[in-house]
A = this chain, B = another copy of it.
């Protein structure tokens, strides 16, 4: 990953720059982050909201550019985040409401936006231990579903979300938005199917695949004996046979209505709260 502001001279780093024009090249670069190509090339992505930016910094994410609207100027928390951004060599932009609306494509935009370095966790670095739960998603397509699943994994105390094969980009604006900040808290891993299967052979985990053809009620599975990987199929096709064969159990959620009417994010939520049933309690929260 290269710093997207590299080569623009040291004079630009660490100073607040005021921008009101949509045609400013820096703003154009930021707007281009709506494209996956640009996100991939720059290794960066956008997150909206002061609280999210504060949380991301606290969790050790690297901010490249902080953008805030004139209305947010002088707010102590905004000033603090600006100082931290400058200290890390990042750029701080004070912009008009029009500009921040254009960047985030919103009518009522947040007043603060951060451009962060992307960060993925490597599959090989995962060493699941007892009490840990992972979600593995096969070729998930819908950005909103992926964001909601990352958010739900966070809520349920899962240790990471593994994206298998071709998936929607976890760093798209729509996905990041749907995570409500959990994209900064939950490790996200990308892996090919072959790599996932190779990892699965080494890792001492129990793979529980949710499959329409699954014969086992999801509530009868032993989620306590090993770390659990909940393997969820994609929105259209379910799980391919190569992955289903690698599973220790093929689980099914009983449904009363029309066939297969559960949305992927809901099914993942129901599975997560079942797999972690023995681990979650109101007391544990404090």
Chain A residues close to B by CB (< 8 Å): 55, 144, 148, 151-152, 154-157, 178, 180-182, 185-186, 215, 217, 219, 252-258, 261-263, 265-266, 269-270, 273, 276-277, 279-282, 284-285
Contact = CB atoms under 8 A, between A and B. Distances in A.
Nearest to A154: B257
Contacts of A269: 262, 266, 269-270
Given A257-B185, A269-B270, A270-B270, A217 B263 contact: no
A256 B157 CA distance: 5
Contacts of A156: 255-257
Contacts of A185: 257-258
Contacts of A282: 215, 217, 252, 254
A263 B148 contact: yes
Contact of A152 (B148, B151, B217, B262): B262
A284 B152 contact: no
Contact of A266 (B157, B256, B266): B266
Oligomer: number of copies? 2
A155 B217 contact: no
Given A152-B263, A266-B265, A257 B182 contact: yes
A155 B273 contact: no
B253 A273 contact: yes
Contacts of A281: 217, 254
B154 A261 contact: yes
Contacts of A285: 254-256
B263 A151 contact: yes
Contacts of A273: 253, 270
A257 B144 contact: no
A182 B256 CA distance: 12
Nearest to A277: B219
A182 B261 contact: yes
Nearest first, the 3 A-B pairs at minimum CB distance are A157-B256, A154-B257, A266-B269
A211 to B, nearest CB: 13
A68 B78 CA distance: 54
A181 B263 CA distance: 12
Contacts of A266: 148, 151-152, 155, 265-266, 269
A126 to B, nearest CB: 18
A164 to B, nearest CB: 22
Contact of A257 (B155, B265, B279): B155
Nearest to A55: B258
Contact of A144 (B144, B154, B262): B144
A258 B154 contact: yes
A209 to B, nearest CB: 16
A262 B217 contact: no
